[in-house]
Amino acid sequence: MQVDVQRFHSSSDTEKPLFIPLKTEYYEAFISGDKREELRAYGPRWNEKTCRIGRAVLLSKGYGKQNRATTKVTGFKKQHGSTFGSRDRDAIKACFGTLDIEIACIEVERPKVVSNE
C-alpha cells in the first residue's frame, strides 16, 4: 500500500511531513508507545525550524514504502551529547563516534500506522 503523503501535510500547504527513517527496533518502539523521542545530529536537517512543534511527521521502518506511521512534533530541544544519561550517551557515541556533538531531540505523539508489510 502506498502512503498518500499529501494527506499528512502540516498547516502549511507547501510543507511536507518531516520524514524520519528508523531502524526496525526504533520504529517498533515508537509504534508500541515505548519510545517518544528521536535523537539526531543537530544541523541544517534537524533543528528548531525543520522540527517545529505541530509539524506532521512520517515515521518509516527504513526507506521503503511499507511500514509507515504518522504523528506530529510535540517538543524539540537541542542538547549536548555529553549531558545525556548513560544509555543515550552510549547510543550517541556508537552512532556518531563522539559525545562532543549537539543533538536534536524530537518529541512526537504516539503514531498511527498507515501502512504495514
- pLDDT of 115 reads 87
Query: For residue 25, which of 35, 39, 17 has the smallest C-alpha distance?
Result: 35
Domain boundaries, position 69: 5-115
Record the pTM: 0.85
What's the angle, vertex CA 22, arms to CA 10 and CA 86, rounded to 5? 110
Total of domains in the chain: 1
Higher pLDDT, 26 or 3: 26
- pLDDT of 7 reads 47
- pLDDT of 116 reads 80
Higher pLDDT, 17 or 117: 17
Residue 70 has pLDDT above 70, yes or no: yes
Kindly report the CATH number assigned to the domain that includes residue 40: 2.30.130.30
Query: For residue 93, which of 105, 74, 80, 106 has the smallest C-alpha distance?
Result: 80
Residue 9 has pLDDT above 90, yes or no: no
Mean pLDDT of 64-91: 97
